[in-house]
Structure 1
Amino acid sequence: MRTVAEMIAELGHVATWSELQPHVTRRAVTAAMTRGEVERLSRDRYATPGLHAARREAERHHGVVSHLSAAVHHGFKVRTPPARPQVTVPRTHHVTRADEDCCEIRLRHLGPGDHAQGVTTPLRTVVDCARDLPFEEALCVADSALRSSLVTPDDLVSLARRARGPGARALRRVAQQADGGSSGPMETVLRVISLDRGLDLSTQLQIVDHGLFAVVDLGDPALRLAVEADSFAWHGDRRALDRDCRRYDELVVWGWTVLRFSWEQVMIDRDFVEWCFTHVLDGRDGISPPVPPRPGRRRRPL
């Protein structure tokens, strides 16, 4: 015979009393709570211990995990994890100041197909992030969702075209720029900065030129510009460093301009990255760029 905790786990780790009643008694549920096998989230709502904080908050408010919290649940990479659980609840739900101190709550209608087991679906998660979050954060989620294949480009573009109301324009912008070729938030943020400076860089660009073959993170073949997002993990040994140095030198010899950025530069010293994108082509015309900005100035995402 299954225990109360096992039944709740099979029901998605959260269950209402009406779901449990055909199988167990109130006394059994109370006993399971006493033993620490089950915890009560709110009136007649129970969960297995260790449930993610966002799931607990969503159940406590009779809502669902959404936005960045849902993105993390689905395994999507995000630019910045949410500081507080992000949940969506019905419009009729009364939200108190104490509730807002515990989590970020959005009042919104969700159809039956928009969520499953207390979490917004992958596609709905991308849509919510695109409508409500800054473009840069939303695009990180969308890129990761496409890369995971849990969301297809056709589904995202089709839904964006039909979208109406608040955030519809932002959603269409995200759908237009989303690219599963981006390997992570660092590359996505680099792409956003380049777009702001009038450069539309391709992801995972293959360069074949007179015997030269290379794949760069971002690039523009017409401008012969290659951009690399160099994380520390990729240079864990001398062999990796030697391989990349050789590749970058070959690109330069064959007339390519190569920009390499660290995680700190992309995510923190944004001014420097913007300065590079703005003035990288001026040198070809003999124009001297201004002095680069000093490091350490933190910028908020767009």
Structure 2
Amino acid sequence: MRPPPLLDHLRSRGGLATVADLAAAAGCSQRAVRRQADRQGWWCPFSDVVGLPRARPSAREHIHAAALQAAGRTGDPDRDLVAVTRLSALYLLGIAASAPTKVDLVLPAWRYVKPDPRLSVTRSSHLDAADITVRANIPYLKPAPLLRDLAAIRDVDRLRLDAIELLRRTSVTLDDVEAVLAHGSAFPGSGRLRRVVKELRSVGRVDSALEYRARQRFRAAGIEFDRGQVHVAAPVGGPSDWAMHLDLGIAAIRFGIEVDSFAHHSSPDALRRDAERANRLALLPEDWRVLHLTWWDLQERWPAFLGMARAVIEAQSVRHLGRPWPASGDLVR
């Protein structure tokens, strides 16, 4: 038996749609949609959104439903703009471990949406269609505009962490963020975002907040590293994929530090990769010395780790440069 037309339309939309959209597609009234939803036990997360029955909707499905609820109904994409933003967007991107209680949405400044205690709505005069991307039918801010929105609610340290994670996990660049800063007038938190961009520009590539903090603590102790991560070339005649990067280091004296955070080094695959890297380094003829720094080293035994790093740097400098400490001219900038 052929399923009812409304059910066909709902399935073709991924199992989630607005009442108005379904009514227009099926050529029936919105009341008819609501009656069928009630009779067949459809999921009704918001007053204007229905979905296929599901035992336990996921946080992602709830965010999708919230975006549908807040979208305009004119049929003009530029006028109906809505995007998931802030902590909800970080959750969709896999950066936040859990979704916030309220779904964070951003709308154009002139748009109105019916108040709902499950929604946290921001109106922005900076929002336009170019700021929004759509994945799995969910519209959310691209990383650079997302940092603009996050700047309003984050302190510098949290904003820097957000930026580092977005730079590592997505295709966004600092140039993209600077373009957002240069576009139009100032926005809440723009000063904080400018500071974060300037800091990250100065240090080069950084893959974690722990790595950034380690670099700053070494700098405060008088130890400067090459800008960004240290490139270790593949051995002559060896496979090209044996080339690698160390988190911190000084290439001129063949010294590096790997910053081992639990988030990046706890899975079986990560442990396997770490072992392979260590074995490759041992095979290189250039006599590299690599230390491993953990959060515990940085927080609980910093003086001991700093002393060990100083000793290795001095020994490597004598070995490779013939003097007890690398000069500023030996660093890669």
Gaps of 5+ in 1: 287-302
In structure 2, the residue matched to 1:34 is: 39
Between 1:116-125 and 1:170-179, the stretch displaced more is 170-179
In structure 1, the residue matched to 2:329 is: none
- CA contact 1:54–1:69 (8 Å) conserved in 2: yes
Tell me the TM-score normalised to structure 2 length: 0.59
- CA contact 2:226–2:248 (8 Å) conserved in 1: yes
Q: Match for 2:24 among 19, 22, 25? A: 22
Matched, 1:109 2:141: no
Return the offset for 1:66.
1.6
* Distance in 2, Cα, partners of 1:161 & 1:18: 39
- CA contact 1:205–1:218 (8 Å) conserved in 2: yes
Change (3 A) 1:203 1:80: farther
In structure 2, the residue matched to 1:128 is: 149
Q: Match for 1:271 among 289, 293, 299? A: 299
Q: Match for 2:104 among 81, 84, 87? A: 87
Residues 168-203 of structure 1: CA distance to partner in whole angstroms, max 9, x if unpaired? 133234445289976xxxx42233213432356655
Gaps of 5+ in 2: 72-81, 316-333
In structure 2, the residue matched to 1:54 is: 63
Change (3 A) 1:159 1:67: same
Change (3 A) 1:47 1:180: farther
Which letter does structure 1 place at the counterpart of 2:124? H
* Distance in 2, Cα, partners of 1:93 & 1:279: 59
In structure 2, the residue matched to 1:169 is: 191
In structure 2, the residue matched to 1:160 is: 181
Return the offset for 1:54.
2.8
Alignment of 1:1-302 (within 5 A): 3-8=5-10, 14-24=16-26, 25=28, 26-36=31-41, 38-48=42-52, 49=54, 50=57, 52-59=61-68, 64-73=83-92, 76-78=93-95, 80-89=97-106, 99=117, 105=120, 107-109=122-124, 111-113=127-129, 114-115=131-132, 116=134, 118-123=138-143, 124-133=145-154, 134-146=158-170, 149=171, 151-162=172-183, 164-176=186-198, 177=200, 187-197=207-217, 198=219, 205-208=230-233, 214-220=243-249, 221-222=251-252, 224-230=254-260, 231-232=265-266, 233-234=268-269, 241=275, 243-249=276-282, 254=286, 256-261=288-293, 265-266=294-295, 271-272=299-300, 279=307, 281-283=309-311, 284=313
Residues 144-165 of structure 1: CA distance to partner in whole angstroms, max 9, x if unpaired? 354xx3x355433322333622
SS of residue in 2 equivalent to 1:52 = helix
- CA contact 1:61–1:89 (8 Å) conserved in 2: no
* Distance in 1, Cα, partners of 2:142 & 2:212: 22
Return the offset for 1:130.
4.8
- CA contact 1:193–1:274 (8 Å) conserved in 2: no
- CA contact 1:71–1:78 (8 Å) conserved in 2: yes
SS of residue in 2 equivalent to 1:132 = coil
Change (3 A) 1:279 1:218: same
* Distance in 2, Cα, partners of 1:277 & 1:164: 43
* Distance in 1, Cα, partners of 2:91 & 2:24: 34
* Distance in 2, Cα, partners of 1:78 & 1:144: 10
Which letter does structure 2 place at the counterpart of 1:88? L
Which letter does structure 2 place at the counterpart of 1:205? V
In structure 2, the residue matched to 1:290 is: none
- CA contact 1:66–1:120 (8 Å) conserved in 2: yes
Which letter does structure 2 place at the counterpart of 1:246? N
CA RMSD in angstroms, aligned pairs only: 4.4
Return the offset for 1:87.
0.6
- CA contact 1:136–1:192 (8 Å) conserved in 2: no
Tell me the TM-score normalised to structure 1 length: 0.63
SS of residue in 1 equivalent to 2:24 = coil
Return the index of the structure with the highest Cα Rg.
Answer: 2
* Distance in 1, Cα, partners of 2:304 & 2:62: 41
- CA contact 2:88–2:103 (8 Å) conserved in 1: yes
Return the offset for 1:276.
7.2
Change (3 A) 1:140 1:47: farther
* Distance in 1, Cα, partners of 2:94 & 2:204: 12
Change (3 A) 1:130 1:14: farther
Return the offset for 1:215.
1.3
- CA contact 1:126–1:138 (8 Å) conserved in 2: yes
In structure 2, the residue matched to 1:292 is: none
- CA contact 1:42–1:59 (8 Å) conserved in 2: no
